[in-house]
Structure 1
């Protein structure tokens, strides 16, 4: 009995050991969680000198926080108003941040340091929001405000990377020659708020700052301006709306000529590309040949267009070469379902290396049929023709057509199947295209308002949507 009892104890102990090892091999070992995730931004415990100090004359400010902190793009995010000529030096160490003034302070002036998005904690990267430090070199604090909103004129959407500026110098030239008195950032909705302003009259601008400069130095900068000066008094002015624009797109070249690509000297023949889609020609578009480099010689009289398999000569077509000498366009009233043959002899064109075709070539294509297209009959409610509205139809970010709206019903014929975006251009000058602003002429940009409606064209099908319009911004 004693032996059996010992054997039973042995097997029980062995089983327990095996279960322990089995559990350690199969289960995941989970470390202690350490409590809930820290979601609070750092808080200022103390500032030296304290916030809202009057007769401020210090060159150094020290902030003490309740946890270890780090800096986040300090020279990009820190807003100091009024704007100093030399930005202050900002350093951090453990739980402290030190600001050292590098510029002389003005008398009887309220200075504001806005640390929004500048200070973050070490562990979770939580950023401080709306952290202001205010001091005055006099015996009072300026306390006036100005608010507003900035949208892009071409999309009526915000761009939070823009900076809003106030100039006490009311001359137009100030935006080109000097930094502003006050700056403010935009939030994600395009809203801005100036606080602790001194009474006065200001010019209001918005700009995309480049290289730390807050001056309008290029027509390729995003820019906006208020039509008239803003008077800031004890009675806050109504919120101001600005519309930003770019006067010249970066990909535009003076004179309209694109940069000439480098020639491939190893290539022995003249290359080109047509704009056909699977061998079919759009009934509403011209035929185009695009060359990788400019043509030196071009003989349109040698190019022949014929029809059908009998190569019957066609009539009514015309060739033109664009100003870059890289695009040949053939305009023609295409007949649906008709086969065309464009005959190109070897010497119809050559580039600067005197390369032509190695042998005659013929491009064969067929004009599309009407049944391949969709149609639309659109009814516009609340149409105000005095605002010169133009319907812009685009696909893939490229505008396909512009339709001036002269009545509440618009008929669109022959549109290739696909989904298209819609926008309304409020076309002040009636040229059927968007025009940017011009600060020198004090002309505001035109507006393009996207519609929350798309058109999906189907072959041989007519759409009949109704669209409710809103007045221009």
Structure 2
């Protein structure tokens, strides 16, 4: 009996152990593939001559895929009809749709579009070259392209070469050679002839290899790139950095075509004209279905200055649902000349229907009083920096204001601030400012009594009561920038760390110091612009006039890496030498 129990125990033990031993485990599969595909054969062979076929076949050592090849592929010289690209298994077939040029070296750039099918390992900087003549050209030209404003590299931009120094070539003709920039903004031309070249870069919106749209980004070098900058592959040391002969700055030209593109009347007192750019010359409004003197409107310009807003001051005119007006302005013709233009427009405004009142609202017959909204930049219990203005913004211009109903009291001395004057903004009739030297750490009270402001529509403001205080300089940082070897005029912008917001701007003339006071503690960057035309802002380029975009620099050094950590009650002194700024 004891033996039976022993045998039974052994059988149960075996049954419970064996399922665990038989558990299925996925195979590890070995090390991860990290190798890029390798071209093992091609028809014709790489760098072959006297090619007269219609198809090229590339054969790799493993199964491949083409990733974003439409964006990365470039064929030099370019073709009117792009070839058909067929990828199957380990092969790529390139079928030409137009005859090849005689005695010409062709280069097909794939960049990193060829990847292995499993892990996506790219074959970097892959190209294939062949010649329809008895020789194959072999020289190279390399360079780097970056955005002229951000200074960041731009990928997939066409870079083109022409063998004549004619300005109209990038506009009217296909280039002689073509390549694309990579992720680092780098580009290389292969298989070039020994000669001077005109170079031009294009972010081609319509894929025709021509600069024929004003919205296309471009880069150029005035004159020709010397053949002395071309290198032979035999002299290229692959263990070292490739020498970048050309540096290009990509920019979008300012729109110089002037035309009226829109008009509207979204408010009864507000009519708008929208142009393609800041309109040159006078814009005149001639009433056709009403009579008015020259004071029937006030003009406001938007921030981009491409729109003109007319605020109607006359109650009779604003009450009309339809305003018929003849416009007189300048418009660019087909020869890029400004010519007088007359247009007739109808401004129509229809009052929107009021929402139906609920029974509960009907029981309360007391009408809600409409008041003029006043937006003030000074907020409750917040500081204001000395000499910074107090800004009042209104939804529409004022018909009148009463300064005696506006009072600012120094709460420390319990006296009113004297000499307060409202100053109208130069661009907008809806903005007014009050300037004063606010004393640090002193508390103030702003009191605006009813009817201090009256709008064109006759609305009065309600009481505005705001307590605020003068900013204490010890709670802020300071940046002092000294220039060496400076151009005549420099614009310095204080930006946030992401470089997408401008906090303050200063101008330096003939190398004078620039100081940013009352800088709120935080992280900042500096943008320095060589203001060659002296208009106080960065200007883009103009190809046909040979004008490059204005040079700008983002401040950086080995210690800060370009990010300034501003602390309270701390002076940050920076010395900037223009002569030591390295090329890209």
Shared topology, TM-score over 0.5?
A: yes
Matches within 5 A, 1:63-462: 63-232=58-227, 236=231, 239-248=245-254, 254-255=277-278, 256-257=304-305, 273-278=375-380, 280=382, 281-290=384-393, 295=396, 297-302=397-402, 304-308=405-409, 315-321=419-425, 323=427, 327-336=430-439, 337=442, 338-343=444-449, 345=451, 348-349=454-455, 356=459, 360-371=462-473, 373-376=475-478, 378=480, 380=482, 383-386=484-487, 388-395=489-496, 397-399=500-502, 400-404=504-508, 410-452=514-556, 453=560, 454-459=563-568, 461-462=569-570
**How far off its partner does 1:109 sit?**
0.4
- d(CA) in 1 for partners of 2:380, 2:137: 69
Distance 1:466 1:74, change over 3 A: closer
1:298 CA displacement:
2.5
CA shift for structure 1 position 91: 1.3
Distance 1:269 1:6 in 2: 102
Q: Are residues 39 and 374 of structure 1, via their aligned partners in 2, closer, same or farther at CA, if it must alter by over 3 Å?
A: same
Aligned 8 A contact 2:72 2:156 in 1: no
Matched, 1:39 2:29: no
Runs of 4+ aligned structure 1 residues displaced above 6 Å come to 258-264, 266-269
- SS class of match (1:385): coil
What is the DSSP-based 3-state SS (H/G/I as helix, E as strand, rest coil) of the residue aligned with 1:201? coil
**Is the Cα–Cα contact under 8 Å of residues 391 and 425 in structure 1 kept in the other structure?**
yes
Contact residue 215 and residue 253 of structure 2 kept, 8 A = yes
Q: What is the CA-CA distance between 1:172 and the residue it aligns to?
A: 1.4
1:113: Cα distance to partner?
0.9
- Partner SS for 1:154: coil
Q: Find the partner of 1:7 among 5, 10, 13.
A: 5
Task: Classify 1:103/1:341 alpha carbon distance in 2 versus 1 (closer, same or farther; 3 Å).
Answer: farther
Distance 1:171 1:344, change over 3 A: farther
The structure-2 alpha-carbon separation of the partners of 1:240 and 1:319, relative to structure 1 and needing over 3 Å to count, comes to same
State the secondary structure of the residue aligned to 2:252. coil
For residues 455 and 463 of structure 1, the distance between their equivalents in structure 2, rounded to whole angstroms, comes to 12
How much has 1:78 moved relative to structure 2? 1.0
CA distance in 2, matches of 1:209, 1:366: 54
How far apart are 1:195 and its partner, in Å?
Answer: 1.0
State the match for 1:17 in structure 2: 15
Give the match's secondary structure for 1:348: strand
SS at 1:12's partner residue? helix
Change (3 A) 1:320 1:191: same
Equivalent position SS for 2:11: helix
Distance in 2 between residues matched to 1:332 and 1:346, nearest whole Å:
18
What is the deviation of 1:83? 0.8
CA distance in 2, matches of 1:263, 1:48: 72
Structure 1 distance, partners of 2:207, 2:393, is 42
Query: Which stretch of structure 1 is more off in the superposition, 65-74 or 232-241?
Result: 232-241
- Please state whether the residue corresponding to 2:171 is helix, strand or coil: helix
Aligned with 1:299: secondary structure? strand
Any stretches of 5+ residues in structure 1 without a counterpart? none
CA distance in 1, matches of 2:215, 2:447: 44
Q: Write out per-residue CA displacement over residues 193-220 of structure 1, whole angstroms, 9 at most, x where no aligned residue.
A: 1111123332211222213233334444
Secondary structure of 1:97's counterpart equals: strand
Q: Which has the higher contact order (CA 8 A, sep 6+)?
A: 1
Unaligned runs of 5+ in 2: 232-242, 256-274, 279-303, 310-348, 356-369
Q: How big is each residue's C-alpha offset from its partner over 1:434-453, in whole Å with a ceiling of 9 and x where there is no partner?
A: 22222222122222211234
Name whichever of 61-70 and 86-95 sits farther off: 61-70
Is this contact kept in 2: 1:311–1:341, CA < 8 A?
no
- Tell me: CA distance 1:347–1:406, structure 2 relative to 1, closer, same or farther (3 Å): closer
Which sits farther off after the overlay, 304-313 or 189-198? 304-313
Q: Calculate the aligned-residue CA RMSD, in Å.
A: 3.6
Shift of 1:140: 0.7
CA distance in structure 1 between the aligned counterparts of 2:424 and 2:436, rounded to whole angstroms = 15
Equivalent residue of 1:99, what SS? strand
Q: Secondary structure at the match of 2:4?
A: helix
